[in-house]
């Protein structure tokens, strides 16, 4: 069973066992506009929660993507190199950024569930 959690910086983390898939939320994608380039971390990189993990460039701006949790990068979404628009068309699915082997499972408890994230976004409007 997978569980999705969210950060205040608009990243999502989908957890399955000790593996986590990370991307940006639909809200973040809407704020960025059309994504034209994504720079992903290297496989094997050790990320600490809150550290810069990736960069997204859109027609509006460039933005950092932060590690929602600590862990080792086990895979990156190679499809984004040739088709960064996947982030626009399916930000919480095919537009995922990278996968991690969780380093500190307790960090997940610091993230928002879907209902809390929805309320958080509503408060930003």
| Secondary structure (3-state) at 14 | strand
The 10s digit of each residue's pLDDT in 27-74 is: 999 999 999 999 999 999 999 999 999 999 999 889 999 999 999 999
The 10s digit of each residue's pLDDT in 78-113 is: 999 999 999 999 999 999 999 999 998 899 999 999
Domain residue ranges in the chain: 3-122
How far is 106 from 121, CA to CA, in rounded Å?
24
Residue 1: what pLDDT? 60
Residue 93 is inside which H or E element, if any?
none
Query: What is the model's pTM?
Result: 0.94
Tokens 């409007």 appear where? 125
Structure tokens at 12: 């999502």
How far is 69 from 14, CA to CA, in rounded Å?
11
- Of 3.90.580.10, 2.40.50.100, 1.10.4160.10, 3.40.640.10, which CATH number belongs to 3-122? 2.40.50.100
Residue 39 is inside which H or E element, if any?
strand 35-39
């Amino acid at each position: 069973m997978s569980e999705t959690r969210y950060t205040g910086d608009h990243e999502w983390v989908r957890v399955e066992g000790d593996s986590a898939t990370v991307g940006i939320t639909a809200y973040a994608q809407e704020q960025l506009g059309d994504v034209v380039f994504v720079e992903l971390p290297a496989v094997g990189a050790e990320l600490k929660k809150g550290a810069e993990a990736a960069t997204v460039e859109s027609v509006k701006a460039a933005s950092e993507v932060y590690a929602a949790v600590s862990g080792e990068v086990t895979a990156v979404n190679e499809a984004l190199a040739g088709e960064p628009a996947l982030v626009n068309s399916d930000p919480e699915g095919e537009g995922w950024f990278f996968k991690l082997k969780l380093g500190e499972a307790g960090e997940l408890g610091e993230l928002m569930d879907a209902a809390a994230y929805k309320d958080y976004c509503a408060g930003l409007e």
